[in-house]
Amino acid sequence: TRSKAAPTPKPWIEAIHAYVPGKSKGKDGRPLIKLSANENPLGTSEAALAAKAAAPALYPDPDSTALRTAIGARHGIDPARVVMGTGSDELLNLAAQGYAGLGDEVIYVRYGFSVYDIAARRCGATPVVAPDADYGTDVDALLALVTDRTRVVFVANPNNPTGSYLPKGDIARLHAALPSDVLLVLDQAYGEYVAPEDDDGALALAAAHDNVLVTRTFSKIFGLAGERIGWGTGAPGIVATLNRIRGPFNVSSTGQAMAEAALADADFVEASRVHNRDERDRFVAKLEALGNHGLRPLPSQANFVLTLFEGALSAEAAFEGLADRGYIVRWLPGQGLPQALRITIGKSADMDAIAAALREMAEAAK
Protein backbone atom coordinates (compact mmCIF):
# COMPACT_ATOMS: atom_id res chain seq x y z
CA THR A 1 0.00 0.00 0.00
CA ARG A 2 1.14 3.54 -0.80
CA SER A 3 2.03 5.92 2.03
CA LYS A 4 -0.19 8.91 2.80
CA ALA A 5 2.70 11.33 2.30
CA ALA A 6 2.36 14.39 0.06
CA PRO A 7 4.15 14.31 -3.31
CA THR A 8 7.87 14.96 -2.91
CA PRO A 9 9.52 17.47 -5.24
CA LYS A 10 12.81 16.42 -6.75
CA PRO A 11 15.74 17.50 -4.54
CA TRP A 12 17.32 19.51 -7.36
CA ILE A 13 14.04 21.39 -7.78
CA GLU A 14 13.81 22.11 -4.06
CA ALA A 15 17.32 23.60 -4.19
CA ILE A 16 16.15 26.35 -6.56
CA HIS A 17 15.71 29.88 -5.25
CA ALA A 18 12.77 31.31 -7.18
CA TYR A 19 13.45 34.38 -9.35
CA VAL A 20 12.82 37.56 -7.34
CA PRO A 21 11.46 40.39 -9.51
CA GLY A 22 11.86 44.06 -8.57
CA LYS A 23 9.03 45.80 -6.72
CA SER A 24 6.80 48.36 -8.37
CA LYS A 25 4.85 49.75 -5.37
CA GLY A 26 6.15 52.03 -2.60
CA LYS A 27 5.87 51.53 1.14
CA ASP A 28 2.24 52.61 1.50
CA GLY A 29 1.25 51.11 -1.85
CA ARG A 30 2.12 54.29 -3.77
CA PRO A 31 3.07 53.74 -7.40
CA LEU A 32 6.75 54.32 -7.99
CA ILE A 33 8.63 55.23 -11.10
CA LYS A 34 10.01 51.83 -11.94
CA LEU A 35 13.64 51.74 -12.99
CA SER A 36 14.17 48.23 -11.71
CA ALA A 37 13.37 45.97 -14.67
CA ASN A 38 15.38 47.42 -17.57
CA GLU A 39 12.29 48.40 -19.54
CA ASN A 40 12.27 51.01 -22.30
CA PRO A 41 11.48 54.48 -20.88
CA LEU A 42 10.20 55.56 -24.31
CA GLY A 43 7.48 52.91 -24.03
CA THR A 44 6.51 50.93 -27.10
CA SER A 45 6.47 51.72 -30.80
CA GLU A 46 3.12 53.21 -31.88
CA ALA A 47 3.08 50.80 -34.80
CA ALA A 48 3.34 47.86 -32.40
CA LEU A 49 0.49 49.22 -30.26
CA ALA A 50 -1.65 49.59 -33.37
CA ALA A 51 -0.90 46.00 -34.40
CA LYS A 52 -2.14 44.76 -31.05
CA ALA A 53 -5.68 45.86 -31.74
CA ALA A 54 -5.76 44.00 -35.04
CA ALA A 55 -4.46 40.65 -33.76
CA PRO A 56 -6.95 37.75 -33.70
CA ALA A 57 -7.78 36.05 -30.41
CA LEU A 58 -7.75 32.51 -31.77
CA TYR A 59 -4.73 30.22 -31.44
CA PRO A 60 -1.60 31.85 -32.78
CA ASP A 61 0.53 30.52 -35.62
CA PRO A 62 2.42 27.79 -33.72
CA ASP A 63 5.53 28.45 -35.80
CA SER A 64 5.46 32.28 -35.68
CA THR A 65 6.22 32.08 -39.40
CA ALA A 66 5.78 35.74 -40.36
CA LEU A 67 7.72 36.93 -37.32
CA ARG A 68 10.60 34.51 -37.89
CA THR A 69 10.71 35.58 -41.52
CA ALA A 70 10.92 39.24 -40.46
CA ILE A 71 13.66 38.49 -37.92
CA GLY A 72 15.57 36.52 -40.54
CA ALA A 73 15.30 39.36 -43.04
CA ARG A 74 16.40 41.94 -40.48
CA HIS A 75 19.52 39.98 -39.48
CA GLY A 76 20.33 38.07 -42.64
CA ILE A 77 19.45 34.72 -41.07
CA ASP A 78 17.57 31.82 -42.67
CA PRO A 79 14.20 31.84 -40.81
CA ALA A 80 14.53 28.06 -40.47
CA ARG A 81 17.38 28.83 -38.08
CA VAL A 82 15.22 31.02 -35.82
CA VAL A 83 13.30 29.62 -32.84
CA MET A 84 10.79 31.64 -30.83
CA GLY A 85 10.34 31.58 -27.06
CA THR A 86 7.93 32.89 -24.45
CA GLY A 87 10.49 35.54 -23.62
CA SER A 88 14.12 34.64 -24.05
CA ASP A 89 13.82 33.15 -20.54
CA GLU A 90 12.02 30.18 -22.06
CA LEU A 91 14.82 29.64 -24.56
CA LEU A 92 17.50 29.76 -21.85
CA ASN A 93 15.60 27.10 -19.92
CA LEU A 94 15.07 25.00 -23.04
CA ALA A 95 18.76 25.20 -23.92
CA ALA A 96 19.71 23.79 -20.52
CA GLN A 97 16.96 21.18 -20.66
CA GLY A 98 17.86 20.11 -24.17
CA TYR A 99 21.56 19.67 -23.56
CA ALA A 100 22.12 19.05 -19.84
CA GLY A 101 20.71 16.73 -17.19
CA LEU A 102 21.58 14.93 -13.97
CA GLY A 103 25.33 14.63 -13.55
CA ASP A 104 26.12 17.28 -16.17
CA GLU A 105 27.62 20.68 -15.51
CA VAL A 106 26.47 24.13 -16.66
CA ILE A 107 28.92 27.02 -16.34
CA TYR A 108 28.19 30.71 -15.96
CA VAL A 109 30.02 33.59 -14.35
CA ARG A 110 29.47 34.97 -10.84
CA TYR A 111 27.01 37.88 -11.11
CA GLY A 112 25.72 36.34 -14.34
CA PHE A 113 22.00 36.57 -15.14
CA SER A 114 20.08 34.83 -12.35
CA VAL A 115 17.97 32.64 -14.65
CA TYR A 116 21.07 30.54 -15.58
CA ASP A 117 21.14 29.05 -12.10
CA ILE A 118 17.45 28.14 -12.28
CA ALA A 119 17.81 26.81 -15.83
CA ALA A 120 20.69 24.54 -14.82
CA ARG A 121 19.08 23.25 -11.63
CA ARG A 122 15.64 22.58 -12.99
CA CYS A 123 16.98 19.92 -15.33
CA GLY A 124 19.08 18.41 -12.55
CA ALA A 125 22.42 19.68 -13.83
CA THR A 126 25.07 21.09 -11.51
CA PRO A 127 25.68 24.84 -11.79
CA VAL A 128 29.37 25.74 -11.86
CA VAL A 129 30.08 29.40 -11.14
CA ALA A 130 33.22 30.99 -12.56
CA PRO A 131 34.88 33.82 -10.62
CA ASP A 132 34.36 37.28 -12.10
CA ALA A 133 37.04 39.82 -13.04
CA ASP A 134 36.00 43.07 -11.31
CA TYR A 135 32.34 42.21 -11.96
CA GLY A 136 32.96 41.25 -15.58
CA THR A 137 33.26 37.90 -17.33
CA ASP A 138 36.74 36.37 -17.08
CA VAL A 139 37.13 34.12 -20.12
CA ASP A 140 40.16 32.26 -18.73
CA ALA A 141 38.57 31.66 -15.33
CA LEU A 142 35.51 30.29 -17.09
CA LEU A 143 37.53 28.04 -19.41
CA ALA A 144 39.49 26.70 -16.44
CA LEU A 145 36.26 25.14 -15.12
CA VAL A 146 35.43 23.15 -18.25
CA THR A 147 35.41 19.40 -17.55
CA ASP A 148 34.25 16.27 -19.37
CA ARG A 149 30.84 16.89 -17.83
CA THR A 150 30.40 20.45 -19.09
CA ARG A 151 27.43 20.60 -21.45
CA VAL A 152 26.33 24.24 -21.55
CA VAL A 153 28.06 27.59 -20.97
CA PHE A 154 25.90 30.71 -20.50
CA VAL A 155 27.34 34.17 -21.17
CA ALA A 156 25.18 37.28 -21.25
CA ASN A 157 26.73 39.98 -23.42
CA PRO A 158 26.07 42.64 -22.20
CA ASN A 159 25.63 40.99 -18.81
CA ASN A 160 22.79 41.72 -16.40
CA PRO A 161 23.13 42.97 -13.65
CA THR A 162 26.70 44.21 -14.14
CA GLY A 163 26.44 45.77 -17.62
CA SER A 164 29.83 44.30 -18.49
CA TYR A 165 30.62 43.46 -22.10
CA LEU A 166 33.08 41.10 -23.74
CA PRO A 167 34.50 42.40 -27.03
CA LYS A 168 34.44 40.29 -30.18
CA GLY A 169 37.97 38.96 -29.66
CA ASP A 170 37.12 37.56 -26.23
CA ILE A 171 33.91 35.94 -27.46
CA ALA A 172 35.81 34.34 -30.35
CA ARG A 173 38.56 33.15 -27.99
CA LEU A 174 36.01 31.67 -25.59
CA HIS A 175 34.28 29.82 -28.40
CA ALA A 176 37.52 28.58 -29.95
CA ALA A 177 38.73 27.14 -26.64
CA LEU A 178 35.50 25.32 -25.77
CA PRO A 179 35.10 21.65 -26.74
CA SER A 180 32.86 21.39 -29.81
CA ASP A 181 30.24 19.37 -27.89
CA VAL A 182 29.66 22.15 -25.35
CA LEU A 183 26.73 24.43 -26.19
CA LEU A 184 27.74 28.09 -25.87
CA VAL A 185 24.65 30.22 -25.19
CA LEU A 186 25.32 33.88 -25.95
CA ASP A 187 22.47 35.81 -24.35
CA GLN A 188 22.06 39.13 -26.11
CA ALA A 189 18.96 40.43 -24.36
CA TYR A 190 20.61 43.87 -24.45
CA GLY A 191 22.35 43.38 -27.80
CA GLU A 192 20.50 46.17 -29.59
CA TYR A 193 21.86 48.73 -27.11
CA VAL A 194 25.45 48.00 -28.12
CA ALA A 195 26.94 50.44 -30.64
CA PRO A 196 27.12 48.74 -34.06
CA GLU A 197 30.92 49.17 -34.18
CA ASP A 198 31.21 47.22 -30.90
CA ASP A 199 29.34 44.17 -32.22
CA ASP A 200 30.60 41.03 -30.46
CA GLY A 201 30.18 38.77 -33.49
CA ALA A 202 27.75 36.45 -31.71
CA LEU A 203 25.29 36.13 -34.61
CA ALA A 204 28.13 35.36 -37.01
CA LEU A 205 29.40 32.63 -34.64
CA ALA A 206 25.91 31.12 -34.41
CA ALA A 207 25.70 31.11 -38.20
CA ALA A 208 29.07 29.41 -38.64
CA HIS A 209 29.24 26.79 -35.88
CA ASP A 210 27.18 23.87 -34.60
CA ASN A 211 27.50 24.68 -30.90
CA VAL A 212 26.39 28.31 -30.52
CA LEU A 213 22.91 29.56 -29.60
CA VAL A 214 22.32 33.31 -29.59
CA THR A 215 19.23 34.53 -27.77
CA ARG A 216 17.58 37.93 -28.12
CA THR A 217 14.39 39.49 -26.83
CA PHE A 218 11.61 41.92 -27.65
CA SER A 219 11.39 42.84 -23.95
CA LYS A 220 14.09 45.49 -23.82
CA ILE A 221 14.73 47.95 -26.65
CA PHE A 222 11.48 46.96 -28.42
CA GLY A 223 9.45 47.74 -25.30
CA LEU A 224 7.37 44.54 -25.43
CA ALA A 225 8.29 42.94 -22.08
CA GLY A 226 4.66 42.31 -21.24
CA GLU A 227 4.13 40.26 -24.39
CA ARG A 228 6.90 37.73 -23.56
CA ILE A 229 8.66 37.26 -26.90
CA GLY A 230 12.21 36.05 -27.34
CA TRP A 231 14.07 34.43 -30.19
CA GLY A 232 17.14 32.38 -30.68
CA THR A 233 19.30 31.33 -33.58
CA GLY A 234 21.82 28.59 -34.07
CA ALA A 235 22.55 25.51 -36.12
CA PRO A 236 19.54 23.57 -37.46
CA GLY A 237 20.14 20.83 -34.88
CA ILE A 238 19.94 23.27 -31.99
CA VAL A 239 16.81 24.93 -33.39
CA ALA A 240 15.20 21.51 -33.88
CA THR A 241 15.99 20.53 -30.28
CA LEU A 242 14.42 23.65 -28.84
CA ASN A 243 11.40 23.38 -31.14
CA ARG A 244 10.85 19.81 -29.92
CA ILE A 245 10.43 20.92 -26.30
CA ARG A 246 9.00 24.44 -26.48
CA GLY A 247 5.34 25.15 -25.84
CA PRO A 248 3.39 24.55 -29.07
CA PHE A 249 1.73 28.00 -29.06
CA ASN A 250 4.43 29.74 -27.05
CA VAL A 251 4.11 33.19 -28.61
CA SER A 252 0.66 34.77 -28.53
CA SER A 253 -1.11 36.18 -31.60
CA THR A 254 -0.83 39.71 -30.23
CA GLY A 255 2.80 39.13 -29.40
CA GLN A 256 3.62 37.95 -32.90
CA ALA A 257 1.80 40.88 -34.50
CA MET A 258 3.32 43.46 -32.17
CA ALA A 259 6.84 42.11 -32.50
CA GLU A 260 6.64 42.16 -36.28
CA ALA A 261 5.48 45.79 -36.23
CA ALA A 262 8.10 46.73 -33.63
CA LEU A 263 10.85 45.17 -35.72
CA ALA A 264 9.77 47.23 -38.73
CA ASP A 265 9.80 50.49 -36.73
CA ALA A 266 13.52 51.14 -37.10
CA ASP A 267 13.12 54.80 -36.08
CA PHE A 268 11.75 53.87 -32.67
CA VAL A 269 14.57 51.40 -32.06
CA GLU A 270 17.24 53.88 -33.10
CA ALA A 271 15.69 56.67 -30.98
CA SER A 272 15.66 54.26 -28.02
CA ARG A 273 19.31 53.33 -28.54
CA VAL A 274 20.46 56.94 -28.85
CA HIS A 275 18.40 58.07 -25.83
CA ASN A 276 19.89 55.25 -23.79
CA ARG A 277 23.46 55.92 -24.87
CA ASP A 278 23.25 59.66 -24.19
CA GLU A 279 21.42 59.39 -20.87
CA ARG A 280 23.68 56.57 -19.70
CA ASP A 281 26.78 58.65 -20.44
CA ARG A 282 25.34 61.66 -18.62
CA PHE A 283 24.24 59.58 -15.62
CA VAL A 284 27.55 57.73 -15.31
CA ALA A 285 29.48 61.02 -15.44
CA LYS A 286 27.36 62.40 -12.59
CA LEU A 287 27.92 59.29 -10.48
CA GLU A 288 31.63 59.25 -11.25
CA ALA A 289 31.74 62.77 -9.81
CA LEU A 290 30.60 61.19 -6.52
CA GLY A 291 33.63 58.90 -6.46
CA ASN A 292 34.96 60.75 -3.42
CA HIS A 293 31.85 59.49 -1.60
CA GLY A 294 32.56 55.92 -2.60
CA LEU A 295 30.13 55.63 -5.50
CA ARG A 296 31.55 53.55 -8.36
CA PRO A 297 29.37 53.15 -11.47
CA LEU A 298 30.58 50.21 -13.56
CA PRO A 299 30.97 50.66 -17.31
CA SER A 300 27.80 49.50 -19.09
CA GLN A 301 26.86 48.66 -22.65
CA ALA A 302 23.26 47.99 -21.61
CA ASN A 303 20.22 50.06 -20.58
CA PHE A 304 21.14 50.10 -16.91
CA VAL A 305 24.10 50.94 -14.72
CA LEU A 306 25.33 48.95 -11.74
CA THR A 307 26.79 51.25 -9.10
CA LEU A 308 28.88 50.08 -6.16
CA PHE A 309 28.51 51.94 -2.87
CA GLU A 310 31.87 51.71 -1.16
CA GLY A 311 31.67 54.78 1.12
CA ALA A 312 29.49 55.99 4.01
CA LEU A 313 26.28 55.80 1.98
CA SER A 314 25.26 52.14 1.66
CA ALA A 315 23.43 50.71 -1.32
CA GLU A 316 20.58 49.73 0.99
CA ALA A 317 20.24 53.27 2.39
CA ALA A 318 20.38 54.69 -1.14
CA PHE A 319 17.71 52.21 -2.24
CA GLU A 320 15.42 53.30 0.62
CA GLY A 321 16.15 56.97 0.01
CA LEU A 322 15.28 56.67 -3.68
CA ALA A 323 12.08 54.78 -2.82
CA ASP A 324 11.12 57.63 -0.45
CA ARG A 325 11.54 59.98 -3.43
CA GLY A 326 9.34 57.81 -5.65
CA TYR A 327 11.94 55.75 -7.52
CA ILE A 328 12.21 52.00 -7.43
CA VAL A 329 15.58 50.67 -8.52
CA ARG A 330 17.13 47.24 -8.03
CA TRP A 331 19.05 46.38 -4.86
CA LEU A 332 20.59 42.93 -5.27
CA PRO A 333 21.53 41.34 -1.94
CA GLY A 334 20.08 38.03 -3.14
CA GLN A 335 22.57 37.96 -6.00
CA GLY A 336 25.58 38.53 -3.78
CA LEU A 337 25.57 42.26 -4.47
CA PRO A 338 24.37 43.95 -1.25
CA GLN A 339 26.83 46.76 -2.02
CA ALA A 340 25.27 47.62 -5.39
CA LEU A 341 22.23 49.18 -7.03
CA ARG A 342 21.20 48.50 -10.60
CA ILE A 343 19.40 51.49 -12.06
CA THR A 344 17.64 51.32 -15.42
CA ILE A 345 18.23 54.31 -17.69
CA GLY A 346 14.93 56.19 -17.71
CA LYS A 347 13.74 59.57 -18.92
CA SER A 348 16.18 62.50 -18.68
CA ALA A 349 14.35 64.25 -15.84
CA ASP A 350 14.24 61.06 -13.79
CA MET A 351 17.96 60.41 -14.26
CA ASP A 352 18.70 63.99 -13.18
CA ALA A 353 16.49 63.60 -10.10
CA ILE A 354 18.12 60.30 -9.15
CA ALA A 355 21.65 61.63 -9.58
CA ALA A 356 20.75 64.71 -7.49
CA ALA A 357 19.18 62.53 -4.79
CA LEU A 358 22.25 60.29 -4.65
CA ARG A 359 24.47 63.35 -4.31
CA GLU A 360 22.32 64.72 -1.51
CA MET A 361 22.33 61.39 0.33
CA ALA A 362 26.05 60.80 -0.20
CA GLU A 363 26.94 64.26 1.12
CA ALA A 364 24.69 63.78 4.18
CA ALA A 365 26.00 60.27 4.99
CA LYS A 366 28.63 59.89 7.69
The nearer residue to ligand PMP, 44 or 88, going by C-beta atoms, is: 88
- Residue from the set 160, 250, 276, 300 that interacts with ligand PMP by CB under 6 A: 160
With CA atoms as reference, report the closest residue to 187 among 306, 106, 92: 92
The nearer residue to ligand PMP, 259 or 361, going by C-beta atoms, is: 259
163-192 mask for ligand PMP (x: CB under 6 A)? ------------------------x-x---
Residue 202 CB contacts under 8 Å (≥ 6 apart), including other chains = 157, 171, 186, 188, 191, 212, 214
Query: Do 43 and 225 contact (CB within 8 A), yes or no?
Result: no
The nearer residue to ligand PMP, 172 or 225, going by C-beta atoms, is: 225
Nearest approach in angstroms of CB 37 to ligand PMP is: 7
- Residue from the set 156, 263, 290, 354 that interacts with ligand PMP by CB under 6 A: 156
Q: Report how far residue 68's alpha carbon sits from residue 71's, in angstroms, rounded to the nearest whole number.
A: 5
Examine residue 89 and tell whether it contacts ligand PMP (CB under 6 A). Answer: yes
The nearer residue to ligand PMP, 164 or 211, going by C-beta atoms, is: 164
Query: Do 221 and 273 contact (CB within 8 A), yes or no?
Result: yes
Chain centroid to Cα 91, Å, comes to: 12
- Residue from the set 230, 232, 255, 346 that interacts with ligand PMP by CB under 6 A: 230
Nearest approach in angstroms of CB 103 to ligand PMP is: 26
The nearer residue to ligand PMP, 250 or 253, going by C-beta atoms, is: 250
- Residue from the set 51, 67, 77, 87 that interacts with ligand PMP by CB under 6 A: 87
Nearest approach in angstroms of CB 19 to ligand PMP is: 9
Nearest approach in angstroms of CB 70 to ligand PMP is: 17
User: How many residues contact ligand PMP, by CB under 6 A?
Assistant: 12
The nearer residue to ligand PMP, 283 or 304, going by C-beta atoms, is: 304
Cis peptide before 161 (omega within 30 of 0): yes
Examine residue 263 and tell whether it contacts ligand PMP (CB under 6 A). Answer: no
Q: Residue 20: left (phi > 0), alpha (psi -120 to 50), or beta? A: beta
Nearest approach in angstroms of CB 17 to ligand PMP is: 16
Neighbours of 298 (CB within 10 A): 19
Half-sphere exposure of 190 (CA within 13 A, CB side): 31
Which residues on neighbouring strands pair with residue 31, listed in sequence order? 25
What is the maximal distance between C-alpha atoms in the chain? Answer: 71
Neighbours of 283 (CB within 10 A): 25
Site for ligand PMP in 190-229 (CB under 6 A): 217, 219, 225
User: Which residue of the chain is nearest ligand PMP when measured via CB?
Assistant: 87
- Laid out side by side, the sheet with 304-309 consists of 295-297, 304-309, 337-344, 330-332
Nearest approach in angstroms of CB 263 to ligand PMP is: 15
Specify the 3-state DSSP secondary structure of 151. Answer: strand
- Residue from the set 99, 108, 113, 283 that interacts with ligand PMP by CB under 6 A: 113
Binding site for ligand PMP (CB under 6 A): 87-89, 113, 156, 160, 187, 189, 217, 219, 225, 230
